[in-house]
Structure 1
Amino acid sequence: MQPVTQQFLHRLSVQTRGQSLTDISREITAALSTHGAGDGLVTVFIRHTSASLTIQENADPDVRTDLLSAFDRMAPEDAPYVHTLEGPDDMPAHIKTALTDTSIAIPVERGRMVLGTWQGVYLFEHRARPHRREIVLHFIGGSKEP
């Protein structure tokens, strides 16, 4: 591993289409390339309490469909929640975020995330309507060699 020669913050703005899993792997890879990242660690952080991050299979879309269904069964909109000011999908969204992650740390080797063959990084939108979500990347590590 190279000595630490750089760190940077990079912000991504992602438009969701409502409850869904949006693959953001390409955007993260592009940011790493733009900043000349080499070997190190990228932390991916979402600045919201009703959306989250997950690493999931990126090959079969049925996995994402089944995940959405499973989370809806775990935190249904029609449960008797106390917090209802922002609509019936808000409290279930907070529960789903609590069950997943708001940040993920991923090793980076030669400027690329070290993910498994069928893995992708996903923004997990838990609200019913579309939102613009902000994700902050923090990289620390070496610079890409010339």
Structure 2
Amino acid sequence: MQQFIARLTVETRGRSLLDVTRRVAEILSEEGAREGLLTLFIRHTSASLLIQENADPDVRADLLDALDRLAPQNAPYRHDSEGPDDMPAHVKTAVTGTNLSVPVAEGRMLLGTWQGIYVAEHRARPHRREVVLHFVGALTDR
């Protein structure tokens, strides 16, 4: 059994879902991943990771709107030192999660036809986010 750890830096535009599927696939290819399990972990408490539909952009817009309804900015939060979007971002991260596991076979992630990996930025302003990739399994001989 072999493993590698890589980091992916993502520049967000504020509240959005950013598709990082291609960038993750490139890292797997560069590192020679063949068969195993990929774990992704975002190192933040106000952004999260999702596997979501990658075909219809309305799905992503509707999902962001639903999360806003779940954790509205105007709710009476105690934690507000970083602005009105901060505590709602923490709630959204708690609901959606900070890690994903994706099986890999023949060097490719076994995502479904319409699935993509997204960084969900829950804050209103742009941020630099870091995603850690940890692969455990078989690597190609180099």
Please indicate, yes or no, whether the TM-score normalized by the shorter chain is above 0.5. Answer: yes
Query: Aligned pair 1:51/2:47, yes or no?
Result: yes
| Structure 1 runs (4+) greater than 2 angstroms displaced | none
Query: Aligned pair 1:133/2:126, yes or no?
Result: no
Structure 2 unaligned residues grouped into runs of 5+:
none
Counterpart code for 2:122: H
Deviation of 1:144 (Å): 2.9
State the match for 2:75 in structure 1.
79
Figure out how many residues of one structure are paired with residues of the other and give that number: 142
Q: 1:8 aligns with which of 4, 10, 14?
A: 4
Query: Aligned pair 1:88/2:84, yes or no?
Result: yes
1:134, 1:47 → 2: CA distance? 6
Provide, for residues 1-45 of structure 1, a one-character-per-residue CA deviation record: whole Å limited to 9, x for no partner. Answer: xxx2x2000000000000000001011100100000000000000
Taking only aligned residues, the RMSD between alpha carbons, in angstroms, comes to 1.0
TM-score (norm 1): 0.95
State the match for 2:116 in structure 1.
120
Query: Aligned pair 1:99/2:92, yes or no?
Result: no
State the match for 2:20 in structure 1.
24
TM-score (norm 2): 0.98
Aligned residues with identical type, % of pairs = 65
